[in-house]
Amino acid sequence: MSLWSDVMGILSALGSGDSWTISKALSTQGVWVVGTLATLIGGLIVTALYNRFPLIDRHFERSVMVYTYLAIAIIIFVEVIRRFVFSVQAPWSTTFPPVLFLIMTWFGCSFNIRLRTHLAFAEFRTSMSRGLQMACLTLDMVLWIGFCVIVVVTATRVAANSASNFQILAGTDNFMQWWYLITVPIAFILMAGRVLENWFEDLSNFRSGEQLIKPTVIGAD
């Protein structure tokens, strides 16, 4: 009963929009229930969107990675020239690129889940029967979803705590830290969507008799 009260308290806090109330509510154990549901439901919605809009499926994460990488390169290039040639430098130029790198990294993880370029022991699994192969792929899905839930919960707690303390990115006057910290749980919900997308594809291949374990190449599409 207490767990249910915690869950309702979190939903009520989210509805209030008050960062301190949200941060306090997320400190309860009910956050794991809400986080799990948010990850699964969010992942299913993401999977449905990717299936409905192939253009987003192919280009969304890659676009985020490319544009954040370009922004990092431009900021560093310009600020190095300004520092050594004009003896001036923007105070945020050493703190904002790591923020962009964080965003690029997590969205890149989501994209590479779709490409299946993570460690999957493909050579070992190809020698298994189809049933064992599907069991291993299902285990992968469960472990990835569990990992996503952990990150979604903990990262959301960190973002809410940052918002409640009005933490500002060093070198800026009004850029709140939670604005970029919240991209971590968002990226991992997208990752959950990719995990479910892959598993549904594996299930379809298993039922149709198509090859389950396929060779992958890093950087391929």
What is the tens place of the pLDDT at every residue in 50-89? 999 999 998 999 999 999 999 999 999 999 999 998 888 8
> What type of residue is 213?
I
Residue range 2-13, pLDDT digits in tens: 888 888 888 898
* Rg, C-alpha atoms of the chain: 21
Q: Which residue has the higher pLDDT, 3 or 48?
A: 48
pLDDT of residue 45: 96
What values do phi and psi take at 182, rounded to 5? -70, -20
Do residues 128 and 200 touch, judged by C-beta distance below 8 A? no
- Does pLDDT of 216 surpass 80? no
- Does pLDDT of 1 surpass 70? no
Q: How buried is residue 201: exposed, middle or buried, by Cβ count under 10 Å (0-12/13-18/19+)?
A: middle
